[in-house]
Structure 1
């Protein structure tokens, strides 16, 4: 997967040590109620569209950009779904990242979904009752985006 230039520059200074980064997850629905998934090239698993925000990029714009880059379709970002600090992840190259992830519900505006970069090997629409297995974080994000609740989900701070 291509690593953003600003991350490459940071990695040249800190190596593979844990790096906090902001990312987005786009849960894209079409007019038939199907969800867009991509099969990732790094682990061959089906996933929602995700990506790293560029410095100064607004999260909703980043979500729409990632969908266009990975699946070649234009979307409307409808609402915020979740804000979540994810557990430490280790990339195949050994880089460690703590992602602050912002999830969005999106709607297909136009275009035909297809593999549009080297991050995916397949792109497809899935009915909600015929989904492949998703990582727990992504399954939660999809469930939240599918629910008819306007409020965003987040982990509540512990009561003191």
Structure 2
């Protein structure tokens, strides 16, 4: 995945230090309740589409942009399903990041699912009972999107109230 220019500019100042970034994730269901996934070109794993917001970009607009860039589909975000600060991690080059991820349940409105850029090796629709292996955070977001109701978040500890 190419690193956005604004992140490269920050890295010039902070090196490999931890950067907090805002990410968006699309959990896209079609009319048959199949889930849209793409196989990432950076590590070959299956994942929900998404990415990093650009400075000043609204989450829903960034989500629509990311899904289109990766899958060729235009989507309509229907609701936020979760807001979570993920655990920090390091990329192979040593850059450390921590994402605040905003996951949206979406539906497709235009286009054909296909690899639309060099970030996706494959793009496919999967039935929920036939998902490929994926990471725990992605599966958690999918689980929240399947449920009806309010967005999920980690509640504050009792002492913070």
What interval of TM-score do these two structures reach, taking the shorter chain for normalisation? Answer: over 0.9
Distance 1:24 1:75 in 2: 13
Mark the runs of 5 or more structure 1 residues left unpaired by the alignment.
none
Distance 2:113 2:92 in 1: 27
Q: What is the CA distance between 1:52 and its match in structure 2? A: 0.2
Q: What is the CA distance between 1:39 and its match in structure 2? A: 0.5
| Residue matched to 1:49 | 49
What's the TM-score once normalised by structure 2's chain length?
0.96
Q: What is the CA distance between 1:153 and its match in structure 2? A: 0.3
Distance 1:110 1:129 in 2: 25
Q: Which runs of 4+ in 1 moved over 6 A?
A: none
Given that 1:83 and 1:154 are in contact with CA atoms closer than 8 Å, whether structure 2 keeps it comes out as yes
Distance 2:148 2:155 in 1: 20
What's the TM-score once normalised by structure 1's chain length?
0.97
1:33-112 alignment runs, 5 A limit? 33-112=33-112
Tell me the secondary structure at the aligned position of residue 25 of structure 1.
Answer: strand
Mark the runs of 5 or more structure 2 residues left unpaired by the alignment.
none
| Residue matched to 2:25 | 25
| Residue matched to 2:147 | 147
| Residue matched to 1:127 | 127
Q: What is the CA distance between 1:134 and its match in structure 2? A: 1.6
Distance 1:141 1:115 in 2: 22
Tell me the secondary structure at the aligned position of residue 143 of structure 1.
Answer: helix
CA RMSD of aligned residues (A): 0.8
| Residue matched to 2:8 | 8
